[in-house]
Amino acid sequence: MKCSKCGSPVTRDKGFEIGGSWFCAGCFVAKAQEARHFSKDDVARLKRAHLEETAGPIPRTFLLQILESGYDRISRGEEPFDQILQDMTNEIERAAGLFISREILQVIEACQHVFLEQEEEIRQRMRKLSGL
Ligand SMILES: [Zn+2]
């Protein structure tokens, strides 16, 4: 067996396999180093993907607005803390209700689309059957 990169002899117990190709220790480490270096764009893309995957039903910018305005009111110190907290909680609950309803509506619309397609298919079959 030979290393896929440098061609030096490799044994099963000393070599490393990646996707069916065998590498000597040196070339394996070099390959692993290559894979470790992500470009800034790669890192930004991964971060965006991570944020999208872990996002809740309320968009982050919306949540941040609620928190920032609440923080502003608290730092002015003109209103009771409990009242501000209550208002913020209400706003978050309203936002969650709104955005979850919107998602449910999208699911219903998607189901309706599938239903209409199937209904049309059944109608076409019935027309064919009645023509037999
Ligand atoms: Zn090698």
Say yes or no to pLDDT of 52 above 80. Answer: no
Q: Is residue 35 part of a domain?
A: no
DSSP conformation class of 23: E
The C-alpha R_g of the chain, in whole angstroms, comes to 29
Q: 27 CA to middle of ligand 1, Å?
A: 4
d(CA 121, CA 115): 10
Identify the sign of the CA torsion 40, 46, 48, 50.
Answer: negative
Which is nearest to 26 in space by CA: 9, 40, 41, 39? 9
Percent of the chain whose pLDDT exceeds 70: 98
74-100 residue pLDDT tens: 999 999 999 999 999 999 999 999 999
Q: Is residue 52 part of a domain?
A: yes
Counted domains in the chain = 1
Q: 7 CA to middle of ligand 1, Å?
A: 6
Q: Is residue 87 part of a domain?
A: yes
Q: 18 CA to middle of ligand 1, Å?
A: 13
Q: Is residue 48 part of a domain?
A: yes
* Terminal Cα-to-Cα distance of the chain (whole angstroms): 67
Q: 37 CA to middle of ligand 1, Å?
A: 20
Q: 33 CA to middle of ligand 1, Å?
A: 14
Q: Is residue 125 part of a domain?
A: yes
Q: 19 CA to middle of ligand 1, Å?
A: 15
Structural domain of residue 76, as residue ranges?
42-131
Say yes or no to pLDDT of 32 above 80. Answer: no
Which is nearest to 58 in space by CA: 92, 85, 33? 92
